[in-house]
Amino acid sequence: MKLYLVRHPKPDVKAGLCYGDMDVPLLEGWQTHAQALKASLNLVYDNKKTRCYHSPLSRAALLANHISDGLSQPIDALREMDFGHWEGLCWSEIPRQEMDIWASDIVNENPFQGETLQVVADRVWQWWLSVKDEPMDTCVLVAHSGVIKVLVSLLCEWPLSKCFRIDVDFTSVSEFSIQGEWVSLKRLGAGDWFLNTPEQSNES
């Protein structure tokens, strides 16, 4: 099975905003990259060989429905991490003491009274285990940076405490090949690969 993990397009928010579980709008023109992504994947969503799932937050749902012709299924487990009372604040506005507590153990600490990273990992992994053995050749998940970093770490058996080092850009794709218990990472966080044309690749 091929597994594609796709991050949503860039949202229309002020720089430095903490917007985990918040529903925020996308920047105008997001459809341009979405169409390029759709063309590059070139998948037929027939609910048998190819399936698409997405976070119910609109920034992921819009992209998922665009690339799947409306056949993607919303999955609550794919929502971004809930940052509690940090939601809607700029990172620079969050008390330093709270940030230090979180940084001391980002997997289990919860100074913002939302979800811990471990809670996110548990819900994402439990859902993945429930669908990974269903008969399909290709699975596309459209979600968020935190969800993708967690799932990449779990699939690769990397420490959750280091998942922040994974670079997942907007409208990026991470690709896996999965055969039973065998997992191969083919591409991690690729963003502009599907936009390159022969003419562009020859430019200096």
> What is the percent of the chain with per-residue pLDDT over 90, rounded to a whole number?
86
Mode of pairing for the β-strands spanning 2-7 and 50-54: unpaired
- The pTM score is 0.92
DSSP string, 117-161: HHHHHHHHHHHHHHHTTSS-SEEEEEE-HHHHHHHHHHHHT--GG
pLDDT of residue 194: 56
- Residue 127: phi and psi, rounded to 5, are -65, -45
pLDDT of residue 201: 31
| Distance, CA of 204 to CA of 200 (rounded, Å) | 9
DSSP H/E element including 33 = helix 30-41
Q: Is the pLDDT of residue 135 over 60?
A: yes
pLDDT of residue 45: 86
Query: Which band of pLDDT confidence, cut at 50, 70 and 90, is reported for residue 190?
Result: confident
Coil, helix or strand for 204? coil
Fold of 2-190: Rossmann fold (3.40.50)
What is the domain partition of the chain in residue ranges? 2-190
- Residue 110: phi and psi, rounded to 5, are -150, 60
Q: Is the pLDDT of residue 154 over 90?
A: yes
pLDDT of residue 199: 37
Question: What digits encode the pLDDT tens for the residues 158-185?
Answer: 999 999 999 999 999 999 999 988 999 9
Query: Which band of pLDDT confidence, cut at 50, 70 and 90, is reported for residue 195?
Result: low
Question: What digits encode the pLDDT tens for the residues 90-103?
Answer: 999 999 999 999 99
**7 touches 151 (CB < 8 A):** no
